[in-house]
Structure 1
């Protein structure tokens, strides 16, 4: 009589790092929560060694902190750090907006126009959850359209670190009434294929975020 042993199928390292990062950004793990290798191994179907390497990668991104003889935990980002991150993002996101405006194709323009309509509808309807998700989609789309791999890589690491504060900001009273026109202005500038206007609209939006974070201190 033969027996069958169910083996764990280990996932690739970049994919595992991304999956754990996404779980942290979704709020599956809270700031300061310990990340147990055995639990993560079971959850993601990965070996303990792969989980350990993924946590080291995330520690390098500043999303996780290693604890001497205690494994790792989700790193909590202070408001002051969040402000510094947004200040760094300004230059990178201006660059991506410029490139997106320069690279826009007719097909991309149609997709972006549809996204613009969804953002406007969510804002008008007061759909905060849907609006927050659409904003993330818009930011990701602008990065993709830029085609600037280095800026995108740096931005994704910065966004991962400040995700918690971005979430708080999305639900700040009255925020949707300010941010929706700002996001639409960015989209409109990209659709107009105007790099200067796209960069300017992006800077205005991010400087507003810095001001709000400053008020949260």
Structure 2
């Protein structure tokens, strides 16, 4: 397969396809490119050509430039002089730094959530656990990843700390590709499901110490799983 028009020189990707009636604003462009990075269609080291993205989407180069800057701020792209935007690579050191911060912040969020969690919140988390179980059993990793993210977002929303949410949104975006691909590891989705059930159990018990601990252990397990895969050139 030949490279698509949006990346150079050696990553076999599909060109961006656009619904003629879809929103062509900055946010839409950001989301489309982000999904291509997460899925691996735009692999690490791919150069994204601004003019080609603009032509493919039927927009001027200005919103594309702003979208690329936003993705660079999230850590998904690097802006290199005379080269433009390049899909960022993840090193073991990058991973360690990101996951150390995420462990501390998500552990805190889980502790804070204990104070305000309601039975309705718990029911929402239980339903997500059920969806994750179904997705794991059917091998639907996209659905599993989506439910996983929603589970964590429910806890963040209960915690109610806006700045904590903003910091986590930024730090999690920097490893979203690696977190998704780590689910390809045989048995990882089942292990992850058990970790989320332990988090739910701690929240049901309204035990802040235990809630923070099991969340931290979950993030540690995620970090370990990604680090075991990150050197595999087939995935990263």
1:159 equivalent in structure 2: 172
Unmatched segments (≥5 aa) in structure 2: 1-19, 232-236
3-state SS of the aligned residue for 1:73? strand
**Counterpart for residue 7 of structure 2:** none
Q: Does 1:32 align with 2:62?
A: no
SS at match of 1:77: coil
- Partner residue in 1 for 2:12: none
**Which has the bigger relative contact order, CA under 8 A and spacing at least 6?**
1
Tell me if 1:195 matches 2:211: no
Whether 1:105 aligns to 2:145 is no
Change (3 A) 1:47 1:198: farther
Q: 1:72 aligns with which of 66, 69, 85?
A: 85
* Contact 1:64/1:72, CA 8 A, preserved across alignment: yes
Q: How far apart are the structure 2 equivalents of 1:18 and 1:145?
A: 26
Query: Whose helix proportion is higher, 1 or 2?
Result: 1
Q: Measure the CA separation in 1 of the matches of 2:76 and 2:82.
A: 19
**In the TM superposition, what whole-angstrom CA distance separates every residue of 1:150-208 from its partner, at most 9, and x where no partner exists?**
22222222222212321232111222332211111112222333322221110111222
1:1-217 to structure 2, matched below 5 A, reads 11=25, 13=26, 16-44=29-57, 46-123=59-136, 125=137, 127-129=139-141, 130-216=143-229
Q: CA deviation at 1:18?
A: 4.8
TM-score w.r.t. structure 2 length?
0.75
State the distance in 2 between where 1:20 and 1:215 align: 26
Per-residue deviation at 1:10? 5.5
Q: CA deviation at 1:65?
A: 0.7
- The structure-2 alpha-carbon separation of the partners of 1:76 and 1:182, relative to structure 1 and needing over 3 Å to count, comes to same
Residue 3 of structure 1 corresponds to none
TM-score where L is the length of structure 1: 0.81
CA–CA distance in structure 1, aligned partners of residues 217 and 113 of structure 2: 17
C-alpha change, 1:61 and 1:214, in structure 2 (3 Å) is closer
